[in-house]
Amino acid sequence: MADDSGFLLSQMMEELSVEFQHINVKLLLHEPEPVDLEAIVPIFHSWIQDQVSEDLLLDVASYGHVKAGPGVVLIGHEADYSLDHTDDRLGLRYNRKAVLEGTNQERFERAMRQALLALERLEHEPALQGKLRFNGRDIEIFINDRLIAPNCSDSLNQLEQELRKLLAKLLAGQSYSFAYESDPRRLLGVRIQFGRDFTTVDLIKNIGPAPVEQVS
Amino acid sequence: MKASNQLWKEQLREKMPENLAREIDIFETEIALRKQGKLDERLFAETRLRRGTYGQRYDNGQRNDGRKVQQLNFPSGRLTKGPNTMWDAPGMQRIKIPAGGLNAVQLETVAELAEEYSDGIAHVTTRQDFQLHFVHIDNTPNLMRRLAAANITTREACGNSVRNVTACPYAGVCQDESFDVTPYARALSRFLLGHPDCQNFGRKFKPAFSGCSQHACGLTALHDLGLIATKRQNPETGREAIGFEMYVGGGLGAVPYQAKLFSSFVPPDELLPLAQAIARVFARYGEKKNRNRARLKFLIQDLGIEKFRELVFEERKQLPFDPRWTEYIEQALESAEAPSRSPGDLPELVTIEAGERGKEKFNNWLKCNTRPQRQPGYVTVTVALPLGDITANQLRSLADIVRRFTRETIRSTVEQNFAIRWVSKTDLPELYRALDAVGLGDAGSGALVDIAACPGTDTCKLGISSSRGLAAELRKRVSEKSFQSDEAVQKLHIKISGCFNSCGQHHVADLGFYGVSRKIAGYAVPHFQVVLGGEWEHNGSSYGLPVVAVPSKNIPQVVSRLTDRFVSDRRSGESFKDFIKRSGKTALKTMLEDLTRPASGDRSFFSDWGDPREYSLGDMGVGECAGEVVSPLDFGLARAERELFEAQLEFEKGEAEQAAKRALAAMITAAKALVQLENPNIGDDHDRIVSEFRSRYYDTQKFFDPFAGGKFANYLFDAYATSAQSHTSESSRYLLDEAQLFIDAAHSCSNRLETPVTV
Ligand code: SF4
């Protein structure tokens, strides 16, 4: 008789597993001197004019007057993009609002790809003269839905498992470390630091192009 | 929209008060019915408004991106949530906070909702509510459930209903109050919420409480129902009794009305029944068809306060006894706030990190943001929020702070800030450190830098100019030199509305601004009408008058010029209001004259603060172009402006009758300018001008404001129809305001029209 306990266990795990939706990816920026967030406002407006993303882009909300806040937000229907200053850490943030089909891994990859593409665009904005670029090694990932993913050890374990798969691909096997958000009231999230520097282009190459059906 | 949308209801079933849970279930069903096309869009719109779920700019499915009008192709296609309001378009959710009172858990709940359903920011409004922007309607039932589990409702936060009951944030701790109005505000709020007698209003109904008449914390003069705490000696027993001065029919809006005294003393047990009787009279006799005359203030104007009072007392007699009239008050009286820490004194030696600069900041904060309570050893601390905005993380930190220093309570204020009460003086340095660590330690509450602004063109469908953009810019400029400036200037209030509707309360500011548009060289240019000399004190008891419209980009110069002049020219002890009055309109207008024109060749004037797109009205205009030309229409409107200005001067001199006549003449001049576009031979006969204006611009709706409809045209028709009547100072004042709005509307109409031009 074949021993199928391993199979049953993995099936049970699958059933118990969290379906991660509303994934947020924040790519931290190198900030040699304080950035005037207002300079981003016309850039985000131009992204709307050109509808540069696969997401429907709608409006720009500027919160530069609020300390350590969401900064400047490009509001979209499926997702928001922002030059986010939460926790006094400046980064390009992708906040997926609409539910996504597919597996957890596909959703993480998609969110990561969208964030990276937006950052690449920002890095090449002529008006910014290269002042904003990825710091090479810090990213943050959150799940913006407390009910499906409360900030507790169970969901954190599952998030970590998923992220290990994602990072194996994103960093092409290079090392990284995790740090966690300890306040249970905050979103489930992980801060990831790479063992060595990567460029945005490296990461885009590693994550690969969107599967054909994702391209609109 | 959210993956968890199917799960919250079950999750929170036991945690929500039954009535609120039921309410939300009904709303969810209505959403489903609307999606199936089984509920009319108009009906659905009113039903969602009554749950505080508002529309937002661009929800008609198109947006001018600065180059072209983009169609926003939402996944739900043409499904609407109201007339011309796309289902998927982001909306605003208003959250009612009676008397501004919140606890730590409620702060945390709002933080979660801001993060999960909005853009990470919660906005405190001038009526102590919260607003969350960019919310998808599919998420609103669960947003409401999560609030209900924290004992907060959004019910009747918008729509034709009793809005949030506001109250002084210092009630119960203020040195000047007659008594603590909080329990009465809470009882009234609870009693009127969903009350059957309040379901058939033609417009909204806003109540407010104040603990005294001299300060502005409650702003009762600008509310439909204003209640000021008072005491009097009972002539029979000789004992002191508490009660309320009751005012009715105040309101800002396009034309501001001061509330009128209804009764000089209403005992507490008569408060709820009298409010109920007023609601009944308003529901029965108030205007229903014409929204523009449906507020209580118009009913009182039409009936006269005596007749209105008579009807209310008559109604009061008919009311069947309701035990809740007193029960609700008794229950509310049981939960008075108390301190969690012992009273104390500010430690003599305060160590503040960041050296001298840090110490200076702390001292400024102490000076501006703390206020001694009537309970010795305690102070109330104001947390200044820039433009009323606060992040989710800051809200959680604030929850921690109030847990640490108080019995977990805090209040939102009408100045879009928070007040932490019952802070032991001993704790002030620690509290300051905790606030400062999360970016909430800025000084300047109630000062020049503490600018109030409505959402304006950022998110409001009715916005004409960017009130928040201007506020952010002024804040930046003012804060740089704020504490070096003259003491009298530091205390001035700046308030900004994106349009004539006055949500930013510009009428009661020293320096008020409301958004208008003007055409310059054939292009629409965002402007603000400068409104000077309003009074914030005494419950907002005196309104400013418009002086001149200035391009948005010149408003910072208006502020610095006026404040500099105030410092240099003011007489000893003179208030800004008195200084404005003494200066007179002519001098003020002359002082600002050069700022009414954009700097030559500066293209930035054609976009608004914080928004680089070329300005266009209603986001529907195509790029306008013309040479350096002036049309007869522009000349006509300028003439109308001038006539109105003269009328305002006459009013200032006390010539109310003459001012009213000239204000009407100014309106006719503006109407004629428009009629002339189609009929150059119209001539000067007033009957003919008004009649042709009606047929060419009103009947065809060409003059209609996209949101206010024919409101402003009706100002002309009403004024003309009653031109034989004499005017009091009050009615003349209203007519002046209406004339200004009519002329502003004529400018807007001109902007919308493809005007023929002559070189
Ligand atoms: S004043 Fe006008 S722009 Fe401002 S919120 Fe009110 S309606 Fe909107």
Is the four-CA dihedral B604, B606, B609, B611 of positive or negative sign?
negative
Q: Which pLDDT belongs to residue B490?
A: 87
Kindly report the protein residue whose alpha carbon is nearest to atom 6 of ligand 1.
B503
> Predicted confidence band at B758 (pLDDT cuts at 50, 70, 90)?
very low
User: Domain for residue A68, yes or no?
Assistant: yes
Q: Which pLDDT belongs to residue B483?
A: 60
User: Domain for residue A1, yes or no?
Assistant: no
User: Domain for residue A180, yes or no?
Assistant: yes
Q: How far apart are CA B561 and CA B548, in angstroms?
A: 14
Q: Which pLDDT belongs to residue B630?
A: 45
pLDDT above 70 (res B624): no
Cβ neighbors of B719 (< 8 A, separation 6 or more) are B663, B664, B667, B735, B738, B739
pLDDT above 80 (res B436): yes
Q: For B227-244, what is the mean pLDDT?
A: 92
Domain ranges, residue A49? 20-207
DSSP B251: B
Dist. CA B124 → ligand 1 center (Å): 15
A135-149 pLDDT, tens digit each: 999 999 999 999 999
Closest residue in A to B384 (Cα–Cα): A66
Q: How far apart are CA A1 and CA A67, in angstroms?
A: 64
Among residues 108-147 of chain B, which lie with CB inside 8 Å of chain A?
108, 111-112, 115-116, 119-121, 133-134, 136
> Is the pLDDT higher at B589 or at A211?
B589
Q: For B314-333, what is the mean pLDDT?
A: 97
Q: Which pLDDT belongs to residue A213?
A: 60
Closest residue in B to A101 (Cα–Cα): B3
Which chain A residues are within 8 Å of B121, Cβ to Cβ? 61, 63, 66, 69-70
Atom of ligand 1 at shortest range from CA of B501:
1
> Predicted confidence band at B633 (pLDDT cuts at 50, 70, 90)?
confident
Q: Which pLDDT belongs to residue B628?
A: 29
Dist. CA B284 → ligand 1 center (Å): 28
- Tell me what ipTM this predicted complex has: 0.93
Atom of ligand 1 at shortest range from CA of B499:
2
Q: Which of B4, B8, B391 sits opposite A70 (nearest CB)?
A: B391
Instruction: Walk me through the domains of chain B, giving residue ranges and CATH numbers.
Output: 2-149 (no CATH), 173-333 (3.30.413.10), 355-437 (3.30.70.3340), 447-628 (3.30.413.10), 630-759 (1.20.120.330)
B536-562 pLDDT, tens digit each: 888 777 888 889 999 999 999 999 999
pLDDT above 60 (res A7): no
Is A58's CB within 8 Å of B393's CB? no
Closest residue in A to B105 (Cα–Cα): A185
B458-514 pLDDT, tens digit each: 999 889 999 999 999 999 888 766 666 788 888 899 999 999 989 999 999 999 999
> Predicted confidence band at B349 (pLDDT cuts at 50, 70, 90)?
low
Top residue of B9, B134, B450, B615 to mutate, by most chain A CBs within 10 Å, is B134
Which chain A residues are within 8 Å of B472, Cβ to Cβ? 62, 64-65
> Predicted confidence band at B290 (pLDDT cuts at 50, 70, 90)?
confident
Cβ neighbors of B456 (< 8 A, separation 6 or more) are B463, B465, B466, B467, B468, B469, B496, B497, B498, B499, B504, B515
Q: Which of A63, A80, A87 sits opposite B389 (nearest CB)?
A: A63
Residues near ligand 1 (Cβ within 6 A)? B 454-456, 460, 462-463, 467, 497-499, 501-504
Kindly report the protein residue whose alpha carbon is nearest to atom 2 of ligand 1.
B499
Of B111-120, B301-310, B453-462, give the lowest mean pLDDT range.
B453-462
Is the entire prediction scored with pTM above 0.80?
A: yes
Of A145-159, B302-316, B440-454, give the lowest mean pLDDT range.
B440-454
> Is the pLDDT higher at B752 or at B534?
B534
Q: Which pLDDT belongs to residue B178?
A: 96
Of A148-157, A171-180, B608-617, give the lowest mean pLDDT range.
B608-617
Closest residue in B to A58 (Cα–Cα): B72
Q: For B83-88, what is the mean pLDDT?
A: 94
Q: How far apart are CA B510 and CA B49, in angstroms?
A: 33
pLDDT above 80 (res A128): yes
Which chain A residues are within 8 Å of B1, Cβ to Cβ? 97-99
Is A186's CB within 8 Å of B396's CB? yes
Q: How far apart are CA B595 and CA B286, in angstroms?
A: 43
Provide the domain count of chain A.
1
Query: How large is the angle between the packed helices B729-752 and B711-721, nearest 10 degrees?
Result: 140
Q: Which pLDDT belongs to residue B487?
A: 82
DSSP B352: -
Which chain A residues are within 8 Å of B438, Cβ to Cβ? 67-68
Is B612's CB within 8 Å of A73's CB? no
User: Domain for residue A12, yes or no?
Assistant: no
Q: For B177-187, what is the mean pLDDT?
A: 97
> What mean pLDDT is reported for chain B?
91
Is B439's CB within 8 Å of A66's CB? yes
Q: For B610-619, what is the mean pLDDT?
A: 80
Which chain B residues are within 8 Å of A62, Cβ to Cβ? 472, 610
What's at B289, amino acid-wise? K
Cβ neighbors of B277 (< 8 A, separation 6 or more) are B312, B313, B315, B316, B319
> Predicted confidence band at B355 (pLDDT cuts at 50, 70, 90)?
low
Query: DSSP letters along B425-436, please?
Result: GGGHHHHHHHHH
> Is the pLDDT higher at B603 or at A72?
A72
Q: Which pLDDT belongs to residue B629?
A: 38
pLDDT above 60 (res B97): yes
> Is the pLDDT higher at B568 or at B639?
B568
Top residue of B119, B440, B461 to mutate, by most chain A CBs within 10 Å, is B119
Q: Quickly tell me which residue has 């060419």 as its tokens.
A: B696
> Predicted confidence band at B354 (pLDDT cuts at 50, 70, 90)?
low
> Predicted confidence band at B720 (pLDDT cuts at 50, 70, 90)?
very high
User: Domain for residue A3, yes or no?
Assistant: no
pLDDT above 90 (res B522): no
Name the 3-class secondary structure at A176. strand
B116-159 pLDDT, tens digit each: 999 999 999 999 999 999 999 999 999 999 999 999 999 999 98
